[in-house]
């Protein structure tokens, strides 16, 4: 989170946004750091659309774009920073611009987003917090701009929607999400191949890590809480990178009866990154903030220092407190 | 597969099927054995619809209905067999009627299905092989019958569509699938809860089995083939039942680069059930049939006798042959 901006942020309608984009000619599109399918899908769908209108467009991503998105990623233009119209897509806070925060953080002309937590750091904001993905917003915007959607735009948009909804699995899906997906299926998007890459493929290293992590499984509080641990040694041994670790967090909440999944990842000798995944009545952000971190209702995190045992002890103590305060009604006996 | 029936099977349109259902008053609806979301969703959606028309309807399932479907399953009527109109839903072959095959196999009045492999064992058949799920067909049928869909019907139909498509992930999804999902979202279906139960929940026993099975992982043919083994001992130790074993088959194909996933499950001292999951250019049914079984392009199976080592040897030999015959172009060096 950044401090409040002194500049005011104007909330725009889709129509106003479409006009603004048509009026400008040189664009820099910024994605968030640790790029996912939604920020990249939004960025490149908008890139291809603006190219159709003969604009000059650069897409800048603070981190390397993972190989798996190559089916819709392309080289973009070189655009001079001075005078460029800067658009951030799916970027809720300027801190998420990573290495581009310093240069662009205070000069984003337009942010297109779906996060209700958007910090309004941009001059103009097109925000639809009911949209499952920023790509839903971009889809509506392209329609309003009378852009003729093609296969590659459809692939980019579908990727964003599919990845941000866990392939239409999560609570953020609405009738509109499925209606847009139906429209995108009219193009040659090969959705099954996209989904196979995004959801059904893991590296052999990750499978090996999974095996090691499963050995660490601990259950607490009448088996309502599961704790998984990833040590530096495991990461070294398997050669697994951080990219796949989100899946360990998901794993921690996947067992029947578990409403609090905890995964503890060692990042340094005495530093552990804690990921929390909860189901109602537990609120992950209550736990995260008590640990000095933060997050959302169902997913939160924090960084905790100490040796593994004391870190675990601390986390479990906080979970116990939050469980007792929640409407759960059951005692959180360890 | 059963031998061809002497009786002829009449293929019906949705309109003809709607008329036929309206004309009858006492129904027995049959689901297939080892019931899944689609056969149950179809059966109960049709049950609730026919009840609205004041019909007497029994739903018969050859096996126990898993607890997880309880949110749309209900008690049904007692219907006398004689004179009842018998409808099979999502049942491609009468052999899949399990314990009801003997009684009803040759007297199914109407089959509603989406399997292109349907053996036309019923007197009348409503078949849409482009539908991702039988529930898609039932949805169209209910519309045609002017049934006022309600929450529980919508839940049943959504469950069938979601489970048969891997939550909109697989190749069988079409624009129509998403259009129907969008319509079902107009009801209070709590799709995220349904998907959580169907896709994101595993038993603690299964997690333990997963750990044991991962220890057996073997890679062959330049890592294009992965073999996982489930022994009787593992099943006994973990207390896992057959229901969750489909997931092991899926696991066997989930590793990057693997185009042939093999899972071998011991069913007896010297009997092994082999599940094959492939990606193009490999065809699972080519492998399955050479092993004395069968299946589809991407999923097939067979039962192989012998000790574990000789069974593995046999399977790998067949895979090698099929790989060499396929358009893969690479040699299948072990």
What ipTM, to 2 d.p.? 0.86
Say if the Cβ atoms of A204 and B256 lie within 8 Å. yes
Round to whole Å and give the CA distance between A139 and A158: 10
CA distance B291 to chain A (A): 27
CATH 3.90.1640.10-classified regions of chain B? 3-198
The stretch A313-327 carries a mean pLDDT of: 93
- CATH architecture, range B3-198: Alpha-Beta Complex (3.90)
Residues of chain B numbered 111-150 and touching chain A (CB < 8 Å)? none
Question: Does any CB of chain B come closer than 8 Å to the CB of residue A203?
Answer: yes
Tokens describing residue B260? 């042939």
Residue ranges of A 71-110 with Cβ closer than 8 A to chain B: none
Percent of chain A with pLDDT over 90: 83
At B6 the pLDDT is 58
CB distance A217–B201 less than 8 Å?
Answer: no
Which residue from B92, B41, B39 is spatially nearest to B63, judged by alpha carbons?
B39
β-pairing, B225-230 with B260-268? Answer: parallel
pLDDT band at B108 (very low <50, low <70, confident <90, very high): very high
Q: For A244-263, what is the mean pLDDT?
A: 89
Residue among B181, B199, B207 minimizing CB distance to A217: B207
Task: Answer yes or no: do A253 and B175 touch at CB < 8 A.
Answer: no
A267-312 residue pLDDT tens: 999 999 999 999 989 999 999 999 998 878 888 899 999 999 999 9
Given this model, what pLDDT does residue A242 score? 65
Tally A–B CB contacts below 8 A. 113
Q: What contacts A114, CB < 8 A, 6 or more positions away?
A: A90, A127, A128, A129, A130, A131, A132, A133, A134, A136, A137
Contact at CB, A179 and B182, closer than 8 angstroms: yes
Q: What is the dihedral of CA A71, A73, A76, A82, to 10 degrees?
A: 170
Distance (Å, rounded) from C-alpha A38 to C-alpha A172?
A: 14
Residue scoring higher pLDDT (A99 or B246) = A99
**Most distant CA pair in chain A: distance in Å?**
64
The lowest-confidence range among A171-180, A212-221, A246-255, A279-288 is: A246-255
Q: Are B60 and B30 in contact (CB under 8 A)?
A: yes
Q: Which residues in chain B are closer than 8 Å to A191, comparing Cβ atoms?
A: 173
Q: Is B4 exposed, middle or buried (0-12, 13-18, 19+ CB in 10 A)?
A: exposed
**Average of per-residue pLDDT values in chain B:** 93
Taking residues B208-230, report their average pLDDT: 95
Residues 231-250 on B with a CB inside 8 Å of A are: 250
**Residue scoring higher pLDDT (B307 or A240):** B307
Check CB contact under 8 Å for B207 and A214.
yes
- Name every chain A residue with its beta carbon within 8 A of the beta carbon of B154: none
pLDDT in tens, B295-322: 788 888 999 999 999 999 999 999 999 9
Residue A49, Cα to own-chain centre: how many angstroms? Answer: 23
Selected residue with higher pLDDT from A249 and A57: A57
The pLDDT of residue B333 is 47
CA A287 to chain CA centroid, Å, is 20
| pLDDT score recorded for residue A330 | 52
Taking residues B250-259, what's their average pLDDT?
Answer: 91
- Are the beta carbons of B255 and A181 separated by less than 8 Å? no
CATH placement of domain A204-325: 3.10.310.30
State the maximum Cα–Cα separation within chain B, in Å, rounded to a whole number: 64
pLDDT score for A222: 95
Kindly report, as residue ranges, where domains of CATH 3.10.310.30 are found in chain A.
204-325
**pLDDT-based confidence at B69, cuts 50/70/90?**
very high
Calculate ∠ Cα B240-B241-B247, nearest 5°: 85
pTM of the model: 0.87
* Contacting residues of B for A257, CB less than 8 Å apart: 204
Give the pLDDT confidence score for residue A313 in this predicted structure. 97
Tens digit of each residue's pLDDT (9 = 90 or more) over A10-31: 999 999 999 999 999 999 999 9
Report the DSSP beta bridge partners of residue B226.
Answer: B219, B261
pLDDT per position as a tens digit, A53-98: 999 999 999 999 999 999 999 999 999 999 999 999 999 999 999 9
pLDDT band at A1 (very low <50, low <70, confident <90, very high): very low
Q: How far, in Å, CA of A48 to CA of B238, rounded?
A: 52
How many Å apart are CA A301 and CA A287, to the nearest integer? 8
Residue B327 has pLDDT above 70, yes or no: no
Q: Is the per-residue pLDDT at A334 higher than 70? A: no
Least confident of A101-105, A176-180, A324-328, B230-234: A324-328
Instruction: List the single residue in A with minimal CA-CA distance to B223.
Output: A204
Closest CA–CA distance from residue B185 to any residue of chain A (Å): 5
The torsion of the CA quartet A49, A55, A59, A60, rounded to 10 degrees, works out to -150
Q: What's the rounded mean pLDDT across residues A253-267?
A: 93
pLDDT at A2: 46
Inter-chain CB proximity B199 and A175 less than 8 Å: no
A168 interfacial to chain B (CB closer than 8 Å): yes
> For A185, which of B166, B175, B203 is closest by C-beta distance?
B175
Which candidate from B174, B186, B214 shows the least CB-CB separation from A207? B214
Predicted local confidence at residue B203, as pLDDT: 86
User: CB-based contact (8 Å) between B70 and chain A?
Assistant: no
Q: Is A154 helix (H, G, I), strand (E, B) or coil?
A: helix
Question: pLDDT value at position A243?
Answer: 64
Alpha carbon dihedral A268, A270, A273, A278, in 10-degree steps, equals 150
CA B114 to CA B174: how far, in whole Å? 14
SS3 content of chain B, % helix, strand, coil (to 5): 40, 20, 40
CB contact under 8 A, B169 and A204: no
What pLDDT does A244 receive? 67
Which residue's entry shows tokens 């229901």? B243
Interface test with A, best of B132, B170, B204, B241 (most A CBs within 10 A): B204
Closest B-chain CA to A190:
B171
Provide the pLDDT for residue B246. Answer: 77
Kindly report the number of other CB atoms within 10 A of residue A314's CB atom: 18
User: What pLDDT shows up at residue B147?
Assistant: 98
Q: What is the pLDDT of residue B76?
A: 96
């Amino acid at each position: 989170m950044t401090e409040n901006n002194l500049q005011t942020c104007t909330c725009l309608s889709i129509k106003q946004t479409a006009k603004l984009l048509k009026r400008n000619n040189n664009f820099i599109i910024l994605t968030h750091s640790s790029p996912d399918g939604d920020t990249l899908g939004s960025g490149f769908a908008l890139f291809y659309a603006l190219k159709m209108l003969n604009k000059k467009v650069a897409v800048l991503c603070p981190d390397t774009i993972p190989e798996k998105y190559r089916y819709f990623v392309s080289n973009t233009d070189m655009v001079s920073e001075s005078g460029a119209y800067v658009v951030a897509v799916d970027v809720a806070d300027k801190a998420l611009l990573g290495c581009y925060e310093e240069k662009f953080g205070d000069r984003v002309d337009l942010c297109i987003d779906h996060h209700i937590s958007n910090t309004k750091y941009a001059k103009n904001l097109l925000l639809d917090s009911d949209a499952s993905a920023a790509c839903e917003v971009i889809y509506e915007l392209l329609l309003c701009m009378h852009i003729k959607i093609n296969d590659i735009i459809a692939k980019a948009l579908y990727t964003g929607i599919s990845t941000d909804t866990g392939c239409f699995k999560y609570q953020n899906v609405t009738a509109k999400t499925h209606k847009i997906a139906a429209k995108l299926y009219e193009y040659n998007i090969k959705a099954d191949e996209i989904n196979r890459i995004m959801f059904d493929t893991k590296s052999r290293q990750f499978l090996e890590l999974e095996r090691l992590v499963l050995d660490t499984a601990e259950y607490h509080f009448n088996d309502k809480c599961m704790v998984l641990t990833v040590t530096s040694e495991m990461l070294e041994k398997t050669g697994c990178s951080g990219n796949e670790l989100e899946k360990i967090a998901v794993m921690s909440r996947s067992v029947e009866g578990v409403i609090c999944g905890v995964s503890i990842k060692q990042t340094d000798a005495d530093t552990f990154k804690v990921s929390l995944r909860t189901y109602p009545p537990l609120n992950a952000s209550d736990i995260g903030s008590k640990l000095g971190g933060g997050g959302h209702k169902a997913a939160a995190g924090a960084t905790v220092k100490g040796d593994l045992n004391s870190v675990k002890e601390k986390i479990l103590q906080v979970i116990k407190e939050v469980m007792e305060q929640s409407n759960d009604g059951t005692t959180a006996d360890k």
